[in-house]
């Protein structure tokens, strides 16, 4: 019996400690993930408030929110959405800074989005965010980001609106296939309930509504359905 007890302790005591350590590790990581989620949620709510009242945002607000987002990332560095939140914060920082300092903030925003994209490459909205940021920098990778956004989210409202607007801004620099892609997304943005109103007003404010609608109607066979807003405008 003594030998059996010794053998039992020899084999099962280490396993018991491993189980205890495993349970403690699970508790620790669950705690970290929970706290990280709270930090990220707080940062995201701040960004939502800024979008509603942009005139009330200060660099101090942005700095405090950036600290919160970085805490979330430090606790869960493999979460792609937390880097997306950080990218948005840096975009707001760039918005509030003068022209000399804003470039650094935009570079930080781009790096945050790239990290998010590396962790979750098939998420189209991140590629749309990269399009916006890169268009304010050197635009060196903008075509690559447009292609990625189109590949992973060809009918996603945010992608449609971003690709079409940035495409129209860079119209003279784009090749014929790239222009066609921008028109495709403009047509989708003008038909989707979430974006059609904003897209219509944007094109009208830029004096591009007639030319874009004419191009869309001219190539209507390339689209799955007509664009009623353009049809009514051109009547």
Checking if the pLDDT of 149 tops 70, the result is yes
**Each residue's pLDDT tens digit, 181-194:** 999 999 999 999 99
pLDDT of residue 98: 82
Same domain, 102 and 171: no
| Residue 31, both tokens | 């705690």
pLDDT of residue 142: 95
The better pLDDT of the pair 182, 227 is held by 182
* Domain containing residue 65: CATH number: 1.25.40.10
Which of 138, 153, 168 represents a domain boundary (last residue)? 153
pLDDT of residue 227: 87
CA 47 to chain centroid: 13
Which of 123, 153, 183 represents a domain boundary (last residue)? 153
Same domain, 163 and 177: yes
- At residue 223 the predicted structure's pLDDT band, cuts being 50, 70 and 90, is low
Checking if the pLDDT of 220 tops 60, the result is no
Rounded to whole angstroms, the Cα distance separating 133 from 11 reads 58
> Is residue 211 included in any domain, yes or no?
yes
Q: Is the dihedral of CA 165, 171, 176, 177 positive or negative?
A: negative
> Is residue 67 included in any domain, yes or no?
yes
pLDDT of residue 100: 76
Rounded to whole angstroms, the Cα distance separating 155 from 165 reads 15
Same domain, 148 and 65: yes
- At residue 31 the predicted structure's pLDDT band, cuts being 50, 70 and 90, is low
- What H or E segment, with its residue span, contains residue 171? none
Domain hosting 108: range is 56-153
**Each residue's pLDDT tens digit, 162-175:** 999 999 999 999 99
The better pLDDT of the pair 102, 231 is held by 102
Same domain, 83 and 130: yes
What number is the average pLDDT over the span 85-91? Answer: 98
The number of domains in the chain is: 2
Q: What is the pTM (predicted TM-score) of this model?
A: 0.84
> Is residue 111 included in any domain, yes or no?
yes
pLDDT of residue 131: 98
Question: Do residues 72 and 84 make contact, with C-beta atoms less than 8 angstroms apart?
Answer: no
pLDDT of residue 35: 80
**Each residue's pLDDT tens digit, 44-67:** 999 999 999 999 999 999 999 999
The overall average pLDDT reported for the chain is 88
pLDDT of residue 25: 52
| Residue 52, both tokens | 């509603």
């Amino acid at each position: 019996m003594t030998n059996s007890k010794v053998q039992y302790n020899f084999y099962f005591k280490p396993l018991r400690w491993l189980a205890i350590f495993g349970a403690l590790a699970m508790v620790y990581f669950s705690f970290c993930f929970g706290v990280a989620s709270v930090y990220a949620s707080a940062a995201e709510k701040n960004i939502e408030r800024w979008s509603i009242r942009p005139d009330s945002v200060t660099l101090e607000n942005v700095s405090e929110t950036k600290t919160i987002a970085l805490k979330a990332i430090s606790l869960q560095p493999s979460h792609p959405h937390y880097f997306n939140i950080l990218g948005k914060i840096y975009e707001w920082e760039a918005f509030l800074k003068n022209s000399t300092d804003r470039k650094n903030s935009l570079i930080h925003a781009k790096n945050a989005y790239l990290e998010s994209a590396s962790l979750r490459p098939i998420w189209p909205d991140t590629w749309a965010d990269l399009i916006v940021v890169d268009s304010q920098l050197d635009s060196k990778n903008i075509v690559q980001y447009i292609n990625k956004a189109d590949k992973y989210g060809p009918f996603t409202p945010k992608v449609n609106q971003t690709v079409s607007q940035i495409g129209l801004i860079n119209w003279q620099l784009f090749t014929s296939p790239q222009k066609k892609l921008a028109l495709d997304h403009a047509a989708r943005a003008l038909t989707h309930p979430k974006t059609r109103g904003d897209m219509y007003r944007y094109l009208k404010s830029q004096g591009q509504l007639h030319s874009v609608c004419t191009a869309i109607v001219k190539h209507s066979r390339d689209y799955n359905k007509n664009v009623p807003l353009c049809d009514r405008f051109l009547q």
